[in-house]
Chain A
Amino acid sequence: MRVVLLTGKGGVGKTTLSAATAIGAAEHGHRVFLLSTDPAHSVGDALGRPVGARPVEVAPNVVAQEVAVLDEIDRSWSAIQDWLRQLLREGADELLAEEVLVFPGLEELVALRAIREVEALGDFDVCVVDCAPTGSTLRMLRFPDALAVFMGGLFDLERRAARVLRPILGAIGMRGFVPGDDVFGAFERLVRDVDDVRQILLDGDRTSARLVTNAARVVVDETRRSFAYLCLYGVATDAVLVNRLLPEVARDGFFAKWLAREHEEMESLEASFGVPLLRAQLRATEPIGVEALRAISREVYGERDPAAILHRGRPLRWRRLGAATLLEIDLPNVSKEEIEVTVHGEDLHLRVRDARRVIALPASLVGRRLTSATLRNALLEIRFAR
């Protein structure tokens, strides 16, 4: 089953484009599942009909569902929360277990488990997901690792040193520090679930992420950052969708300057990602319902199959070499005299001939010194000092 993940800042029209992608994929003959994991569900609004926590057919060959995120979280966390609550009470401090357990971004990732359930049904060729993976969600893709680090210590305490430690913990009034079997089970399930989601998301043959943006500067900046993080964490991004472009009739009226600014932003967008840039115009009214969505899908994808992989390859790759960090970018058909690399604040500017590509740096690289940039076999290697 293919997974097409549409993501972007709130308010850019991500849900409308997700629904349009699903409708368009069905037109190409696929059996499509449209899944919303955004806690602020609006798939129903876009389709002009109610959609809920149970799958419902919304168009021929399109089934839609809005995941009940809170229920999902409660289901997987209750045992862990109970343990923490116990732990905290034994710590003689009436703290809130829930607060301790708020890992930013984890909620969305828990919701993404629904993808696996759709796959298990075996009835669908494509799952289109309307979601909001922010930087913190992407970080949580590594949650199984991080959790294993933290909990691994505790698990080992339990398994390898329980006999030594239990009396000691008991003596200092912290017997509850050693969790029971149900807690271990819940942690293990959670780690396994998140790991399953990760397997799906990081498989570029199965999953493509598409970034939805508007041609406004603040939104574009954020899109660049999301793009950098998707690349960093290894999620294949195969297109950028620019939504709500002002129509050319705006040229002669109040919006003339805004239209000119959009044109500037589009130029910068074209050079920024190295994946196809697809477009949708602002409509004269809010696009609602299957017909309106089908028209948008045709405008965005043209003859293309929305379920296809629109671009292959990882446009940006980071790796560590000793104390330095390397950023690798494929740059075919360019000679090194035509390239200029500079750092401006949180962005890397890469000028190739007359086009300037702006690449947002991961937060851990901001402030590092750029030491060299080498072009070899169509591969640009940019080095940052520790």
Chain B
Amino acid sequence: MRLVFYTGKGGVGKTTTAAASAAHAAALGHRTLVLSADPAHSLGDVLGLRLGGGDGPTPHRVTPQLAALEVDARATLDPHWGAIRDYLVSLFRHQGIEDVIADELALLPGAEEVAALLAVEAAASSGEYDLCVVDCAPTGSTLRLVTLPEIASRTLRLLLRVQRAVAAVVSPVARAVVPVPLPGPEVFRDIDRLLYKRLSALREILLSATTSIRIVVTPERMVIDEALRAHTDLALFELPCDAVVMNRLFPPEAAAEAFFAGWGRWQEERLAEVGELFAPLPVLRAPLAPDEVVGAAALAAHGALIFAGSDPAARLCDAPRLRFTRDKRCYRVELPLPHARSDALDVAKLDDALIVRTGTRRRAIPLPRKLAQLSLVSAKLEAGLLIVRLAPAADGAR
């Protein structure tokens, strides 16, 4: 099953773009599921249907080839997160935090993301779809969505270890001296089951070759700036972007109106800029429609305009990904990091992982066993490609 995520800043028209590409793909004959992970669901509005309520996690059949689903994070996660939430609420209340706020604080951060991933997994294992299109929440959350399995599983290994040791040995003592409730085993069982086991499996799906991410932008500088950062961050986590969609471009008749002529020219400049900045990714042009695009038929027609002959289910660009190569006694790790700046880049080696930080994001890239014993010799950024050299310590390296 092909998995295509549409992401971008809030308000750029992700939902319409995702639904249009799904409707177009369905019209081309792919069995397609479009699912919304955005807590502010508007997929139903765009399709002109009521998706929420009642039928739970069952996708709504829109046309013979197109199904749609708004993921209900609360319903999906309650069985998994219940014990953890109850514990947190008791903890916060114990500290005298107002009840309503205690309830809020105890919500799972990224709950929508986790629920969406679980829905993606269900769609993949059902075998009923050739293509799953995901309408993601704004960029920051998307990244959290796709990186959560990696981060959570690493964090939880530690937590579980600490808990087992502390609970078994220390808990009887600690309960007597520590003035807060301590978590019981059911809390850690939930954490282990939900976050560690299921999320690790989801990570496999995300990193497989069948996943693509498309960034939706509008011709506005701030939106484009954020898209650039998102592109770097996605590359850091090896999540393959295969296109940029430039949404809400004024059609010629709109740009011809006196008041809007200046904005029309401004948009052309942004379009050219985005083409250069994101190369080699193709930039798809989505024109502003005269009114909101609603309903499967209108969406399919809009999707045909956006894709202009290409297949929304196809991989639109094969961007390079993480590579390990050998160069005499040296090993090279190559990681494409488009738009990264060397003054905001940090590389270090910690045991058997390579730690890369760009801006506020950090990732630990696990190294193959053979490379894990080597020392870091150099790291440099060349035309958007991070090249790290590793060599045996005896070679004079640190």
Contacts and interface: CB of A to CB of B under 8 A. Distances in A.
Nearest to A161: B177
Contact of B360 (A107, A136, A142): A107
Interface in B242-294: 250-251, 253-254, 257-260, 262-263, 266, 290-292
A73 B226 CA distance: 20
B355 A364 contact: no
A88 interface: yes
B91 A218 contact: no
Nearest to B53: A345
Greatest chain A CB density within 10 A among B100, B106, B144, B161 is at B100
Given A11-B222, A254-B251, A156 B158 contact: no
Contact of B157 (A95, A107, A169): A95
A11 B170 contact: no
A138 to B, nearest CB: 9
Interface in B1-30: 9-12, 15
Contact of B40 (A107, A161, A222, A232): A222
Most buried by A among B9, B162, B253, B352: B162
A152 interface: yes
Contact of B12 (A11, A95, A247): A11
Contacts of A320: 98-100
B42 A99 contact: no
Given A99-B151, A254-B257, A94 B180 contact: no
B92 interface: yes
Given A95-B157, A153-B180, A172-B169, A218 B40 contact: yes
Interface stretch (A27-35, A37-45, A117-125): A37-45
B230 to A, nearest CB: 11
Interface string A251-268: 001111110010000000
Contact of B350 (A94, A102, A146, A257): A94
Contact of A364 (B107, B140, B218, B250): B107
A325 B103 CA distance: 11
B359 interface: yes
B393 interface: no
Given A142-B105, A156-B178, A286 B155 contact: no
B11 A222 contact: yes
B177 A362 contact: no
A104 B360 contact: no
Range for the number of chain A residues in contact with chain B = 35 or more
B95 A145 contact: yes
Nearest to A218: B11
Contacts of B162: 91, 174, 177
B48 to A, nearest CB: 14
Interface residues of A, dominant DSSP: helix
Contacts of B394: none
Interface string A120-153: 0000000000000000100100100110110011
Contacts of B61: none
A93 interface: yes
B105 A146 contact: yes
Contacts of B250: 254
Contacts of B257: 249-250, 253-255
Interface string A96-107: 101110101001
Contacts of B39: 346, 363
A261 B290 CA distance: 11
B178 A362 contact: no
A95 B100 contact: no
B360 A39 contact: yes
Contacts of A153: 178, 180, 182
A225 interface: yes
A221 B109 CA distance: 21
A309 B379 CA distance: 53
Nearest to B14: A218
A10 B103 CA distance: 28
A371 interface: no
Contacts of A56: none
Interface in B68-104: 74-75, 91-92, 94-95, 97-101, 103-104
Interface in B341-363: 344, 350-353, 355, 357, 359-360, 362-363
A139 B40 contact: no
A261 B10 contact: no
A164 B172 CA distance: 12
Closest 6 CB pairs of A and B: A320-B99, A364-B103, A254-B254, A94-B351, A257-B291, A161-B177
24 contacts: A10-B9, A10-B222, A70-B359, A70-B360, A93-B161, A95-B158, A96-B151, A96-B355, A104-B110, A142-B105, A149-B91, A149-B95, A160-B177, A164-B173, A218-B15, A218-B40, A218-B42, A219-B10, A219-B11, A253-B253, A261-B292, A319-B100, A362-B100, A364-B106
Given A142-B101, A254-B290, 18 more contacts: A9-B10, A40-B222, A95-B364, A96-B151, A96-B154, A96-B364, A99-B364, A145-B95, A149-B91, A149-B94, A152-B179, A160-B177, A161-B174, A161-B177, A217-B42, A249-B258, A318-B100, A345-B52
Interface of B: 9-12, 15, 39-42, 45, 52-53, 74-75, 91-92, 94-95, 97-101, 103-107, 109-110, 140, 144, 151, 154-155, 157-158, 161-162, 165-166, 169-170, 173-174, 177-180, 182, 218, 220-223, 225-226, 229, 250-251, 253-254, 257-260, 262-263, 266, 290-292, 344, 350-353, 355, 357, 359-360, 362-364
